Amino acid sequence: MTNPHLKEEVAKRRTFAIISHPDAGKTTITEQLLLFGGAIRQAGTVKGKKTGNFAKSDWMEIEKQRGISVTSSVMQFDYDGKRVNILDTPGHEDFSEDTYRTLMAVDAAVMVVDTAKGIEAQTKKLFKVVKDRGIPVFTFMNKLDRDGREPLDLLAELEEVLGIESYPMNWPIGMGKGLEGLYDVYHKRVELRHPEQYDNERFIALDETGNIPTAHKLYSNDVYSQAQEDIELLLEAGNEFSTERIAAGELTPVFFGSALTNFGVQTFLETFLQFAPEPQGTKTIDGEMVSPYTEEFSGFVFKIQANMNPAHRDRIAFVRIASGTFERGMAVNLSRTNKAVKLSNVTQFMADSRENVETAVAGDIIGVYDTGTYQVGDTLRQGKLKVEYEELPTFTPELFMKVSAKNVMKQKSFHKGIQQLVQEGAIQLYTTVQTNDYVIGAVGQLQFEVFQYRMLNEYNAEVVMSPMGNKTARWIDPEDFDERMSSSRNILARDRFGNPLFLFENEFAMRWFSDKYPNVELKSLL
């Protein structure tokens, strides 16, 4: 029988990720949501570099300097009787692996789209992951305060490019400087952009015909007439609203607004919390589903982040609680090693602060202090619960660099830094068999820049990096290992777990190898 208190607490949880293309305004909308939740006192945008007023979710120094998010931040706040966990993901495609893993730890996604640019390449990639998981998607069409594309065109593109049906929850009345408000289809009201021009009324209720009073100043405005026409067309020819199809990830509710001017964000948040699902079951490697209401605690590590607090040089393993209740100091079993670990130093994140957590339930994200115990993908479980959660996605790197310490006297900090940053999962580390050189691999150039910057600033280790260009990494079974297979066109190396692999110069070199050694199976990942 389910513990009623646990069920009640889990039902309050709303855990979601915000995904978008860089510059669509993802970090700004995160900030506004935190503002409503009382988690921060003022909103400072990433653009405000000169004021030092940075978005609270961009904590790494390089992010502040370049105005980009390269790490997934986790923030929590309470709003309207719900406990909200937001995971702000990297928009930059070089860090999509981090985002893919983060999407395994959420129950819904909010997709932020720039109304001037529409659906961009990175959004399309991330949406595919969301769709494959079948989780609900809510769309926020951002930057209405600027002139953008026609709203009807944006909806058509959403459906054609992403293959998901849409339902506009509200509709812009004008755009850019001519933005007068939002026609709120769902709440049957108009939300005014400049209440001070209309007797300080923020909302005007619609009558039975779906109109505002004819005496209202806005009624005779051309932009209102245009919005009315669009709405009539959509209600006649558009998709029907369906909570079941939203829950199945087949229909996305679309909200228009401007995160920068904080217009339409609160309505979005309140409506989103109404329809976003509470925590769902989590899939094990055997394909079974573990209910969040299972009494015993379990969870999985979806991210490891070093040096979130430069003063303490700490490292945190982010755990999505999949079932039961976490209690501070509890002993759990780490499935990979089958050893007991005690969870005593655990935090939750409230925007720009973190607090020690005494208890947390399924759906929550907790940060466990890590001294090298955990790896991305680890399952933590309590007592008799013998579960292991499905593997998280990993990418085969495409770009490679040889890396060494510039100062031989600083080998110790060089080795410590490289080992810790590799454990985060954004870069991969290999050691060449014949020369013992360190080689790091990544899916994008920006990861190397972040690695170099963090090695210097967090570990005081200046590194020398020499590009090796594109290589094709393929693993082999240890029993097939033979140093004589190495040639000028393939580099034999070992990954950080000691597994042998080849770094092939190109597809031709790989085919040549396969012809010469037909019995050796080449694998993309072990």
Whether 304 and 187 map to the same domain: the answer is no
Supply the range of the domain harboring residue 171: 18-68+109-275
Tokens 């702000």 -> residue = 88
Whether 251 and 327 map to the same domain: the answer is no
Q: Return the exposure string of 3-38: e unless at least 16 CB atoms fall within 10 Å of the residue's CB, then b.
A: eeebeebbbebbbbbbbbbbebbbbbbbbbbbbbbe
- The torsion angles phi and psi of 199, rounded to 5 degrees, stand at 55, 30
Whether 160 and 176 map to the same domain: the answer is yes
Tokens 């979130």 -> residue = 308
Whether 300 and 254 map to the same domain: the answer is no
Domain of residue 427, CATH code: 3.30.70.3280
**pLDDT tens per residue, range 327-336:** 999 999 999 9
Helix (H) or strand (E) holding 355: strand 353-356
Q: Is residue 124 part of a domain?
A: yes
Cα distances (Å, whole numbers) of residue 82 to 42, 47, 135: 22, 31, 19
pLDDT at residue 416, as a whole number: 85
| Single-letter amino acid code for the residue at 78 | D
> Which tokens belong to 244?
């079941």
Residue 121 DSSP SS3:
helix
**Which of 213, 247, 275 is where one domain is finished?**
275
> Which tokens belong to 321?
């609680």
Tokens 């394909």 -> residue = 287
List all residues 6 or more positions away from 225 whose beta carbon is below 8 Å from its beta carbon.
none
Whether 161 and 207 map to the same domain: the answer is yes
For residues 200 and 271, which has the higher predicted lDDT (pLDDT)? 271
Q: Is residue 263 part of a domain?
A: yes
Whether 326 and 470 map to the same domain: the answer is no
> With 70 as the cut, is the pLDDT of residue 311 above it?
no
Cα–Cα distance measured from residue 451 to residue 391, given in angstroms and rounded to the nearest whole number: 25
**pLDDT tens per residue, range 185-240:** 999 999 999 998 888 889 999 999 899 999 898 999 999 999 999 999 988 888 99
Q: Return the exposure string of 453-465: e unless at least 16 CB atoms fall within 10 Å of the residue's CB, then b.
A: ebbeebbebebeb
Predicted structure pTM score: 0.79
**Which of 233, 251, 275 is where one domain is finished?**
275
Q: If we measure between CA atoms, which residue out of 23, 31, 503 comes closest to residue 259?
A: 31
Average pLDDT of the chain is 84
As for how many domains the chain has, the answer is 3
Q: Return the exposure string of 471-498: e unless at least 16 CB atoms fall within 10 Å of the residue's CB, then b.
A: bbbbbbeeeeeeeebeeeebbbbbbeee
Q: If we measure between CA atoms, which residue out of 166, 155, 170, 70 comes closest to residue 119?
A: 155
Question: Between β-strands 108-114 and 13-20, what pairing exists: parallel, antiparallel or unpaired?
Answer: parallel
Whether 316 and 188 map to the same domain: the answer is no
**pLDDT tens per residue, range 399-451:** 899 999 888 777 888 888 888 788 777 688 999 998 889 999 887 777 788 78
Whether 447 and 490 map to the same domain: the answer is yes
**pLDDT tens per residue, range 121-157:** 777 877 887 888 888 999 999 999 999 999 999 999 9
Q: Is residue 225 part of a domain?
A: yes
Cα–Cα distance measured from residue 157 to residue 165, given in angstroms and rounded to the nearest whole number: 10
Query: Mean per-residue pLDDT for 290-314?
Result: 80
Whether 409 and 424 map to the same domain: the answer is yes
Using the Cα atoms of residue 199, residue 203, residue 206 and residue 212 in order, give the sign of their dihedral.
positive
Whether 351 and 407 map to the same domain: the answer is no
**Which of 252, 275, 298 is where one domain is finished?**
275
Q: Is residue 11 part of a domain?
A: no
Q: Is residue 116 part of a domain?
A: yes
Using the Cα atoms of residue 326, residue 102, residue 392 and residue 136 in order, give the sign of their dihedral.
positive
Cα–Cα distance measured from residue 126 to residue 17, given in angstroms and rounded to the nearest whole number: 11
Cα–Cα distance measured from residue 220 to residue 373, given in angstroms and rounded to the nearest whole number: 66
Whether 159 and 260 map to the same domain: the answer is yes
Domain of residue 357, CATH code: 3.40.50.300
Whether 363 and 215 map to the same domain: the answer is no
Cα–Cα distance measured from residue 58 to residue 30, given in angstroms and rounded to the nearest whole number: 10
Q: Is residue 94 part of a domain?
A: no
